[in-house]
Amino acid sequence: MVGQPHTALGRPLDTDRFFIVSSNILGGCRGTTGPGSTNPATGEAYGMEFPLLDMADFVTVHRALLAHLGIPHLLIALGGSLGGMQVLEWSLTYAHDMSHAVIIAASSG
């Protein structure tokens, strides 16, 4: 309506009411340590020496991020594809960390 302030009310992710955390993934190409990062022991990129990771590793890093931010509990964990696999792992292992889990187009990993 004309003259009405913009609001996100009614949207699935209402940023006027909720704080949303969206972070990079451990081993990703940008923003965190991965195969392209410099191994401090050699001064070269980790490359194929970078350890293999699984969903539990990703969840561990994201839980550490939330602890660092002082967020003890999530209203909802939501993810699609790889993010959905992480939410599934998180909800099976640490169900007490969240009130709701939404898993979209994801396998059991």
Confidence label for 5 from pLDDT (cuts 50, 70 and 90):
low
At 8, the pLDDT band (50, 70, 90 cuts) reads low
Backbone torsions φ then ψ of 85, nearest 5 degrees = -65, -35
According to the model, what pLDDT value does residue 3 have? 47
| Residues 25, 34: Cα–Cα separation, whole Å | 9
> pLDDT at residue 1 above 50?
no
Q: Mind listing the pLDDT tens digit for each residue in 80-101? A: 999 999 999 999 999 999 999 9
Select the more confidently predicted residue: 32 or 91. 91
Residue 12 has pLDDT above 90, yes or no: no
The token pair that represents 61 in the structure block:
């890093």
